[in-house]
Amino acid sequence: MTTTDTTGALVAAAPARGGAEPAALGWLSCARGQFLLSWRVFWRNRRSTFIGFLLPVLLNLVVAAPLRTKEIAGVNAAGYTTVGFIGLALVTSFINLLNGVVARRDDLVLKRLRGTEVPATAIFAGQIGAGGAVVLLQVLVLGGVSVGWFGTPLPADPLLFLLVLAGGYLLFAVLAVALSGVTPSAEAAPMVATPVLLVCMFGSGVVAPLASMPGWLQTPAHVLPLAPVVESLRTAWFGRGFGHESWSGAPLAELDLLHGWLHAAPSLLMIAAWVAAAAVLGRRLFRWEPRRG
């Protein structure tokens, strides 16, 4: 095994059969154990730390910083781009989750855990929860840079922002579990993950408005999984109706909280549809054991 220490610790975290611990407390204990182990493994792996945490932060500094004196749709262009990179952080978390699930499957960790009392939902809740904690840390770093350096205001609707962030993270987490079923090995995981990263980064409005793309690409781009997330994150942060802005367009009108939610509703429904589709795909494709042949 290439991850003997992690494998042994994960299996050791499973409760013995026949315990008298209440089901709910047992589930929480299992999920907590998976969370702590996944958290430690993430920060010990330099590759996962770079891709999953540093990459969006560094890219944002390179791309957004030169835009801090410009505006787009009435808001600071650097802050506009920073919110896009918060959305991209969800995709880099997808890459690490995909790598992690495939590696644990190939090392037979998942198979061993399935033979214990650890619920399947607790196995993934812990791993996905650790990835979510990393994303929240990235939001604090990117948001702090945006507010403290670029002069961006605080989010206009924090509740909507957190809801969209949670929905977007769930979407890419479930998608990672689903696509692990068609990923033959941990070595092949980048071949599956990299196209997703590139398409989402350059086709979902992370760096530039979708209106700057050729007309025939704009409609497909709007239905990519990250596009409604980025659009709604910007609406929640700046309190304006983003989605069809352009570099040379007039400033967007400010929205109150109610109209902000109404504007974000179609994007929220699209995110929910993507989550449902990824869940169905996961049920069909996910494997507990390594792929053969």
CB proximity list for 207: less than 8 A, separation 6 or greater: 63, 81, 84, 201
CA dihedral sign of residues 200, 201, 206, 210: negative
Give me the phi and psi of 260, to 5 degrees please. Answer: -65, -45
> Digits of tens for pLDDT over the chain (293 positions)?
334 344 444 444 444 444 444 566 778 888 888 899 889 988 998 888 898 889 999 999 999 999 999 999 999 999 999 999 999 999 999 999 999 999 999 998 888 888 887 788 888 899 999 999 999 999 999 999 999 999 999 999 999 999 999 999 999 999 999 999 999 988 888 899 999 999 998 999 998 899 888 888 888 999 999 999 999 999 999 999 999 898 888 899 999 999 999 999 999 999 999 999 999 999 999 998 887 65
Neighbouring C-alpha atoms within 13 Å toward the C-beta of 198: 6
pLDDT at residue 23, as a whole number? 64
Domain holding 233, by residue range, is 24-239+254-285
**Residue at 133 is within a domain:** yes
266 in any annotated domain: yes
Predicted local confidence at residue 20, as pLDDT? 43
> Does residue 291 sit within a domain?
no
Q: If residue 71 lies in a helix (H) or strand (E), which one and from where to where?
A: strand 71-72
- 249 DSSP 8-state letter: S
Q: What is the pLDDT of residue 115?
A: 81
- Give me the number of domains the chain comprises: 1
> Mapping DSSP to helix (H, G, I), strand (E, B) and coil, where does residue 214 land?
coil
Contact assessment for residue 156 and residue 236, using Cβ atoms and an 8 Å cutoff: yes
Rounded to whole angstroms, the Cα distance separating 8 from 106 reads 14
In a domain, 16, yes or no: no
8 CA to centre of own chain: 28
Find the length of the chain. Answer: 293
pLDDT score, position 283: 92
**What predicted TM-score, i.e. pTM, was given to this entire model?**
0.90
Q: Which contiguous run of DSSP H or E holds residue 149?
A: none
The amino acid occupying position 81 is T
**Does residue 9 fall inside a structural domain?**
no
The answer to the question of residue 3 being in a domain is: no
Using the Cα atoms of residue 199, residue 269, residue 100 and residue 115 in order, give the sign of their dihedral.
negative
Q: Which of 233, 189, 220 is nearest to 87 (CA)?
A: 233
